[in-house]
Amino acid sequence: MVVDSLVRTGVLTEIDGVPIDELVTVEPLDDGDGLGWRTRMRFASTNDGFLGLREHNSHTVLRADGCPLEVTEIRSAISDSKGWPSPSKKADVVVVASSSGERAIEFVNDDGKIDKLKAPTSEIPTDVAIAGTRGRSWVSEEANGRSWRVAIDGFWQVHPRATETLTRTILDLLQPVAGESAMDLYSGVGVFAAAVAQAVGDGVVDAVEGDKSAVANARRNLHDMSQVRLHHASVESWLANESDRHVDLVVLDPPRSGVARGVVEQITSFTPSRVCYVACDPASLARDIALFRKHGYSVSKIAAFDLFPMTKHVECVALLTPSKVS
């Protein structure tokens, strides 16, 4: 699937003379059976008040007493409790089991806003936080030797080994050098910005994120890193206001749909020597790679990981560098 997207959409058939199908290997993160890895789940409720999952491409909710992909801590947080808000409330139930051992529940409505609907608290273990009812609205995650504050419904990789795997891959591809300048676009709670900042030392890292909650948490997470400058703005608007400057490195981890219109042109205008693109959708990556090529950048290396076992989704990391002039 990855190769097909790169060839058909990205028109990328080879790298340095080696056919792309010989270069792409989707690496597993463990030797398990592909089950029991998901640390974040989003449930809906059935008409009779049980938690369930929607059928594919449907609003129909089927009761689910367990999902083979979820970690056991997810199920133990909600048990088989009944009395969840009816579907008419249009609020999904987000359940998180963090790497630090914390468990939390939050209601999110159709607009993505937190809803203070009440859970059947009498049946939920007392150590499980319920946003708006008891405990905190965030959880603590552990990765790369640091602790990270993440909103319950905020973005964090769902596979336990994904964050450290991607961070290590980015550093391996970029090879940051002390004193270099960098941008981390779609920076979330600051994981990649922190890793790059450690590598560039007294260099500067601009981290840009459009989600207000993620930026607030990043500010706490990176309070000890003065070389990281946090910006709460859409990537495209922030880049549009930054002109006539050079940056050495760029990391971008956009949503599944890829970068917004014009972002590739804006990035290449800063003439970075290395761009690391993290993508959870090979088709979006391939489309954006084609745009980078139009602006003088080509793929030097590409890695792919099975971060979502038993599903069709594959995570890719591509290194783009200025095209060689013959």
The H-or-E segment that residue 214 falls in is helix 212-221
- Please tell me the predicted confidence (pLDDT) of residue 112: 58
Tokens of 59: 């609003």
Among 67, 276, 280, 316, the active-site one is: 280
Cα 256 from Cα 264, distance rounded (Å)? 16
Instruction: Please give the average pLDDT of every successive group of 10 residues along the chain, which has 326 residues.
Output: 94 93 92 92 87 89 90 89 72 92 87 65 86 90 97 94 98 98 98 98 97 97 97 96 91 93 93 97 95 95 96 95 75
Rounded to the nearest angstrom, the gap between the alpha carbon of residue 246 and the centroid of all alpha carbons in its chain is 27
**Domains (ranges, CATH) in the chain?**
2-31+159-322 (3.40.50.150), 40-136 (no CATH)
Beta strands in the chain (DSSP E): 14-15, 18-19, 26-28, 40-45, 51-54, 61-63, 91-97, 103-109, 114-115, 128-130, 138-143, 146-151, 182-185, 205-209, 228-232, 249-252, 274-279, 297-306, 315-322
CA dihedral 52, 53, 55, 61 (to 10 degrees): 40
Residue 219 tokens read as 């500010």
Query: 317 has which bridge partners?
Result: 278, 303
Give me the residues paired with residue 231 across strands: 208
Contacts of 148 by beta carbon, 8 Å cutoff, 6+ apart: 140, 141, 142, 156, 189, 190, 191, 217, 221
3-state secondary structure of 185: strand
Query: Is 1 in a helix, a strand, or coil?
Result: coil
Return the pLDDT at 116: 66
**Tokens standing for 265?**
């042109």
Residues 6+ apart with CB under 8 A from 221: 146, 147, 148, 149, 189, 190, 194
> Could you confirm whether 280 is annotated as catalytic?
yes
Cα separation, 45 vs 313, whole angstroms:
25
Report in angstroms the alpha-carbon separations of 139 from 39, 184, 211, 228, 230.
12, 23, 17, 23, 21
Which residues fall within 8 angstroms of residue 78, CB to CB, at 6 or more apart?
43, 51, 93, 95, 105, 124
The predicted model scores a pTM of 0.93
Tokens matching residue 61: 């909710």
* CA atoms of 265 and 60, how far apart (whole Å): 42
pLDDT score, position 115: 63
What is residue 8's predicted lDDT score, i.e. its pLDDT? 93
Closest-CA residue to 275 (of 289, 261, 255): 289
pLDDT computed for residue 87 by the predictor:
67
pLDDT of residue 77: 92
Whole-Å CA distances, 193 to 44, 93, 223, 237, 248: 34, 30, 12, 19, 14
* Tokens 């993508």 sit on residue: 279
Per-residue model confidence (pLDDT) at position 326: 42
Residue 193 · residue 186 · CB < 8 Å: no
Q: Tokens 């749909």 map to which residue?
A: 257
